[in-house]
Amino acid sequence: METLRLVLVFLHFVGFSALLGGFLREMRLRTMLVGAPVVIAAVAQFVTGALLIWIRTTMDMSVSGPKMAVKAGLALAIVLVAVAGTRVRPPWAFYGVGALAALATAVAVFWN
Ligand code: HEM
């Protein structure tokens, strides 16, 4: 079980890197577009996050309900803004994904 939890944490970090990496790459290219990899990374964060809650509960490890609710809300908002960004490509969607991803990371790290 512990190995599976660590694999899920690993995948959660891969999704996190893809989300941030996709954003920074677009900044570097100065195209400022939300691509499919960012949408996939956002969905991956949601799925791996939900599985992490499940495995931590199964292993009798602590899970903060309010923190998880805020993270789930932010991840859902990222998915919706990213999908809107791939369809109509407004600049606010690109910067919105970046800001929400930064906020979700701050919540993950500073909320204890
Ligand atoms: C863009 C969205 C997200 C980002 C950037 C993100 C980022 C992170 C980071 C950096 C950590 C490690 C920090 C730490 O453990 O102190 C973490 C852990 C965790 N995240 Fe997320 N997360 C996101 C979405 C979610 C969602 C939607 C859920 C669940 C609804 C979730 C559930 C968890 C759980 C349960 C852990 C603890 C893992 C463990 O140590 O067992 N995350 N997240």
Domain locations in the chain as residue ranges: 2-110
Q: 49: CA distance to ligand 1 center in Å?
A: 6
Q: Rounded distance, CA 60 to CA 62, Å? A: 7
Atom in ligand 1 nearest the alpha carbon of residue 61: 41
User: What pTM was estimated for this model as a whole?
Assistant: 0.93
**Amino acid at the residue 58:** T
Contacts of 51 (CB under 8 A, 6+ apart): 8
Residues with CB under 6 A from ligand 1: 5, 9, 12, 16, 19, 45-46, 49-50, 52-53, 56, 68, 71-72, 74-75, 78, 101, 104-105, 108-109
Mean pLDDT of 18-41: 90
Sign for the CA dihedral angle at 54, 59, 60, 63 comes to: negative
Chain segment 74-106, per-residue pLDDT in tens:
999 999 999 998 888 888 999 999 999 999 999
Q: Rounded distance, CA 72 to CA 74, Å? A: 5
